[in-house]
Structure 1
Amino acid sequence: MNREAQTNDNNAARLALQWQRIAVAANRLSTGLLRRQAEGDHFLFPDPQQIAQAYWRWGMALVKDPARLMATQQRWTAEALGAWQQVLSPDSVSEASDATDRRFKHPGWHENLTLDFMHRGYLLAARQALSAVDDVEGLDPHTRQMVRFYTRQLADALSPTNFAATNPAVLERAVETGGESLLRGLANLLEDLAEGDGQLRLRHVAPDAFEVGRDLATTPGRVVYQNRLMQLIQYSPTSETVHQRPLLVVPPWINKFYILDLNEKKSFIRWAVAQGHTVFVISWVNPGPELADTRFDDYLAEGPIAAMDVIRELTGETQVNTLGYCIGGTLLACTLSWLAARGEQERVSSATFFTTLLDFSDVGELSVFIDQDQIQLLEAQMARKGYLQGAHLGQAFNLLQANDLIWNYAINSYLLGRDSVPFDLLYWNGDNTCMPARMQSWYLRHLYLENRLRVPGALQLAGRPLDLGSINVPAYFLSTAADHIAPWRGTYHGARLLGGPVRFVLGGSGHVAGVINPEDSGKYGYRLHDQLPSDPDRWFRAAQEQPGSWWPDWRHWVAGHAGEQVPARTPPAGLEPAPGSYVRVRAPSGVG
């Protein structure tokens, strides 16, 4: 067989394989849709009806001010004419309409007159649509934020980069592959729809790209205790002596703990062990309907309080250093307040908070999803299932960075027909956990909606009133400048509620990358200032910028609260090796 014939056979085999994938995925999708229809499972979040009502309120406000509407239309016309004149100018190819917009970096957007005008017009229309929301008077802040958020989502979705016929990179690849890339993209799309039983479950990383315990969460240790809500892991020492006081890490249960143990180079847990800490980490259960009635109180009692009891029994130490991440930090603050109410705060030597909200007055764009109607919608769904599906939270978080976490991957997978690149952080991001119905309802209502944690005595947990001002242990508060989940100004206000000395540190990057920033990375930098004035921007202007990772700064700070050196502690045989079995349980794959 000559080379040309062999090439044709290979191409035919690849195309046949793609058609086979399409047929299998289509069958899975139809089966899933029929199942959802039979079960009456048509839940959508965000709720289109709530979004439509927000736009109706915006439209009514818009028509009440016809002069402003006319001025807006005139401005649009003038700017559209300016964009067309710019395209026709001799140097239009060298002028980038937005040099920072990565979506339009392909030279085809500027070399082709039609595409150049199209993308300039799109960017203009997107800006004008957002300004139309901002210019309208008479809207309540929540409605304005909702309309602006979903207008941006619509603008992002309508970008010409998201359509095969208008994306030069897609057309170029389709020609190069003889159309195979489009077939692969269709197969990828159908497989993701089938994974979500009809609702799109965009996968950033292939589900078999990593394995927890083999590629991720590999720091040696043992599960030394478990109850219905958590497994407690003690990690093996790597030094002959360790700090006297153990370190208890309380991770979020919205995600899995191994964000702190991704791999050897990026593992905060492995690094903390190497600094001479006896590290204990809570690995939360991935709950099902059997835990529907689990309360926030239960997470406190069966989480950090139970862990402290076990640590005291295993090590003989009556004090621990503590560390909480995100909602784990919120729970840690509640725990410290609860201990203070019982007169037992001396059990904790220090507290570290990673990107933690205690004052929920500024939660950024997450507030778009927080109002009475939307919480009731979630509660109705949780009442039926017994838990909030992890994929719903993942969808909400992805919408906050739609171009990076949705459309970028949709183009790569569905239009360019490429396989996803294995990336441990995104694998973790897609390894969702569920939320027990009763706990999640309490959390959303009392903290996000009503912001009651900041008010002394407004909340009780396990029979004790909470007062953050009663927390007098030294605290290290890490926030990150680009955090879209726990905005740093909001975390700053929460840090000021604590009654003890607080070291507030502002790292670079976002909610995850700014935290998982190893000391040898040389990235981002951080800011420090000893005082905590009421205005966070005043703090920012006075803070001194430091190069590199904040990890060494925390190492020095926590060492001052960790006691003397003692012989290293090897974990007992325990129940099973780290990372344990709880972390391996995956949430249901659908989003219904």
Structure 2
Amino acid sequence: MALTPKSDGSGATGDESLGIEAFQAVDRIREALSGQLSGGVSPGSLMMAYVDWAFHLAQAPGKQMELGVKAGRKWQRLMAHLMASAMDPQAAPVITPLPGDRRFAGEAWAKPPFSWMSQAFLLQQQWLHNVTHEVPGVTKHHEDVVSFAAKQILDVCAPSNNPFTNPEVVARTWATGGMNLVKGWQNWLQDVVRQIRQEPPEGVEAFTPGRDVAVTPGKVIFRNHLIELIQYTPTTETVHPEPVLIVPAWIMKYYILDLSPENSLIRWLVAQGHTVFAISWRNPGAEDRDLTLEDYRRLGVMAALDEITRLMPDQKIHATGYCLGGTLLSIAAAAMAGKGDARLASLTLLAAQVDFAEPGELALFIDPSQLHLLESMMWNRGYLSADQMAGAFQLLRSNDLIWSRMVRDYMMGERTAMNDLMAWNADSTRMPYRMHAEYLRRLYLNNELSSGRFTAGGKTVLLQNIRVPIFAVGTERDHVAPWKSVYKIHQFTDCEVTFALTSGGHNAGIVSPPGHPRRRYRLATRAHDDALLPPETWVEANPATEGSWWTPWQAWLAARSGAPAAPPAMGNALADAPGTYVFQR
């Protein structure tokens, strides 16, 4: 890229400043190359965390003695279990896996010698947790990083990941004469070839947008450099007069909310008598490197609102944002409120955070060293690509996304059937260099939004200015936007907030149509002057209800809408839904 002269903050301009930028470019290039070798994880961040932990552990003889005592006790418990199970194979275990860890759930793991292996591993895992936690003097972030890294290393050695110590793999190998390993080898080769060719996983072709998913009828009625705005065709004789605008995250394609017809939130909303609009984001390239977060607000949310207002000038709008789209929508709503713009009827935030003090496991990858590496990688290419993001997200759920897949696909010789959500997950997008750097620094690292320091349109935006009712949804097993962080919307707004906590994770918990088995949710509304409950107390006070959160949300929207009337006219059609941006690669 071209380097333009500018001041470096010390009064230097012209050629002197250009020279300084050239030196900075050298550092950027080196860091970008380092990131390619490290899979996007900052070695400096890991090293600082390790040194902090190792130094303080070395200076803590009391902690060392404690670890020695605990190691001895765990060894005694393991020996007691070995002797008890030698006499009674059904002897009770001395330790059980953590919630959500199903590696040792099979019956064969409860019998010797495999029970010995699993018990030894779980005790070692527990002791390693003691080793990496509560070391006096270690910062919380470094403690989390060291603990996370230690867990990843230990998981490599889990008996479930070894074909000779996994009883299910041993049984399958014996039953098939080893053909499962042959099939697993073929699966591995196929995956490697697809990765080299940069092809999507096998089976994705059965879920093509516009044919199998994203098939809700509609028209693209507006297009600019950043978005296509889709208006969906009404299917009921009357509709609620206030339209619904959906702002999805730009990290993935918009049709997470318009998957197969039976899993489509958009189709379901239309069937309930709502006029629905949705933003489909552009998949940016290197030429879009200088797009900013403000561009996404202005050319995205505000442009969509302006077009809807042009079509329906007398109607307020129910605005709905998902994940990053919800955060951006919160910024836009606060900026609108600060200017007296009263076009919003309500605000719905799906798995979206406005406070990033506790962003969950993603915080492991958010510190100055890590952000410098990511910024350098984006500076080099102009964007952050899917392959640069995939490693971090897979590590956060390594048991589900890495090791369990390795066992199933490569040892058992099986393939999990592709579904619409998995296919959507493989259809990723890029993020512009400048926008994503701003997003990570201003929101994740500096937490400017909830602290009242975030600016949009040249003015500081305050969430407390939002006066429309809010419906917020958190999911119980969300590793991207933990529900307790989503729940904090109560603390930063002075309006009525209805909060729903639903089962599932960041994606599956949101895509939860009525009739889906094993779904539940908790729901409560807090008036703006009611006392705020801590999240744990809130859970105890609101029992779970079986079913989908979609149903009470739609009732909430309807209660804040006018009497049903004839559907509005469709805007001028530029293309049929799902439009053109969704096909950009």
Aligned counterpart, 1:248: 245
Aligned counterpart, 2:554: 555
**What is the Cα deviation at residue 177 of structure 1?**
3.4
Aligned counterpart, 2:13: none
Give 1:381-396 correspondences, 5 Å limit: 381-396=377-392
Q: For residues 540 and 38 of structure 1, do their structure 2 counterparts lie closer, same or farther at Cα, with a shift above 3 Å needed? A: closer
Q: 1:351 aligns with which of 347, 353, 356?
A: 347
Q: 1:216 aligns with which of 206, 213, 218?
A: 213
Say if 2:579 is the partner of 1:580. yes
Aligned counterpart, 2:7: none
Letter aligned with residue 327 of structure 1 = L
Q: For residues 66 and 194 of structure 1, do their structure 2 counterparts lie closer, same or farther at Cα, with a shift above 3 Å needed? A: farther
Deviating more after overlay: 398-407 vs 169-178: 169-178
Aligned counterpart, 2:139: 140
Say if 2:498 is the partner of 1:500. no
CA contact (8 A) 2:40 2:388 kept: yes
Aligned counterpart, 1:225: 222
Three-state SS of the structure 2 residue aligned to 1:294 is coil
Letter aligned with residue 126 of structure 1 = Q
Deviating more after overlay: 366-375 vs 201-210: 201-210
Give 1:253-292 correspondences, 5 Å limit: 253-292=250-289
Aligned counterpart, 1:536: 535
CA contact (8 A) 2:521 2:546 kept: yes
CA contact (8 A) 1:255 1:431 kept: yes
**Structure 1 moving runs of 4+ over 6 Å:** 37-40, 201-204
Letter aligned with residue 457 of structure 2 = A
Tell me how far apart the structure 2 counterparts of residues 415 and 320 of structure 1 sit (CA, whole Å). 52
How high is the sequence identity, in percent, across the aligned residues?
A: 36
CA contact (8 A) 1:236 1:569 kept: no
**What is the Cα deviation at residue 39 of structure 1?**
13
Deviating more after overlay: 140-149 vs 66-75: 66-75
Three-state SS of the structure 1 residue aligned to 2:245 is strand
Three-state SS of the structure 1 residue aligned to 2:231 is strand
Aligned counterpart, 2:109: 109
TM-score (norm 1): 0.86
Say if 2:59 is the partner of 1:64. yes
Deviations 1:281-336 (A, max 9, x none): 00111111111000011111111111112112233444211101111111111111
**What is the Cα deviation at residue 187 of structure 1?**
3.5
CA contact (8 A) 2:283 2:584 kept: yes
Say if 2:432 is the partner of 1:432. no
Q: For residues 320 and 164 of structure 1, do their structure 2 counterparts lie closer, same or farther at Cα, with a shift above 3 Å needed? A: same
Tell me how far apart the structure 2 counterparts of residues 163 and 48 of structure 1 sit (CA, whole Å). 28
Deviations 1:42-89 (A, max 9, x none): 352223443243223211111112232133123213322321331232
CA contact (8 A) 2:522 2:542 kept: no
CA contact (8 A) 2:503 2:521 kept: yes
CA contact (8 A) 1:337 1:471 kept: yes
Tell me how far apart the structure 1 counterparts of residues 298 and 322 of structure 2 sit (CA, whole Å). 18
Tell me how far apart the structure 2 counterparts of residues 580 and 389 of structure 1 sit (CA, whole Å). 22
Letter aligned with residue 98 of structure 1 = T
Tell me how far apart the structure 2 counterparts of residues 275 and 46 of structure 1 sit (CA, whole Å). 45
TM-score (norm 2): 0.87
Aligned counterpart, 1:18: none
Q: For residues 52 and 92 of structure 1, do their structure 2 counterparts lie closer, same or farther at Cα, with a shift above 3 Å needed? A: farther
CA contact (8 A) 1:233 1:579 kept: yes
CA contact (8 A) 1:483 1:510 kept: yes
**What is the Cα deviation at residue 239 of structure 1?**
0.3
CA contact (8 A) 2:498 2:523 kept: no
Q: For residues 548 and 75 of structure 1, do their structure 2 counterparts lie closer, same or farther at Cα, with a shift above 3 Å needed? A: same
Deviating more after overlay: 139-148 vs 206-215: 206-215
Q: For residues 403 and 188 of structure 1, do their structure 2 counterparts lie closer, same or farther at Cα, with a shift above 3 Å needed? A: same
Question: Please, what is the CA RMSD of the aligned residues?
Answer: 2.5
| Structure 2 residue runs without a partner (length 5+) | 1-31
Tell me how far apart the structure 2 counterparts of residues 517 and 430 of structure 1 sit (CA, whole Å). 20
| Structure 1 residue runs without a partner (length 5+) | 1-36, 587-592
Aligned counterpart, 1:377: 373
Deviations 1:255-289 (A, max 9, x none): 22111112222211111101111100001111111
Tell me how far apart the structure 1 counterparts of residues 421 and 463 of structure 2 sit (CA, whole Å). 33
Q: For residues 41 and 129 of structure 1, do their structure 2 counterparts lie closer, same or farther at Cα, with a shift above 3 Å needed? A: closer
Tell me how far apart the structure 1 counterparts of residues 508 and 76 of structure 2 sit (CA, whole Å). 42
Tell me how far apart the structure 2 counterparts of residues 148 and 103 of structure 1 sit (CA, whole Å). 20
Deviating more after overlay: 293-302 vs 117-126: 117-126
Aligned counterpart, 2:26: none
Q: 1:414 aligns with which of 410, 420, 427?
A: 410
Tell me how far apart the structure 2 counterparts of residues 39 and 441 of structure 1 sit (CA, whole Å). 18
**What is the Cα deviation at residue 542 of structure 1?**
3.1
Letter aligned with residue 109 of structure 1 = W
Tell me how far apart the structure 1 counterparts of residues 58 and 190 of structure 2 sit (CA, whole Å). 44
CA contact (8 A) 1:244 1:564 kept: yes
Tell me how far apart the structure 2 counterparts of residues 430 and 119 of structure 1 sit (CA, whole Å). 33
Deviating more after overlay: 76-85 vs 154-163: 76-85
**What is the Cα deviation at residue 438 of structure 1?**
0.3
Deviations 1:430-457 (A, max 9, x none): 222211110000000000000010123x
CA contact (8 A) 2:172 2:412 kept: yes
**What is the Cα deviation at residue 499 of structure 1?**
2.9
Tell me how far apart the structure 1 counterparts of residues 369 and 579 of structure 2 sit (CA, whole Å). 39
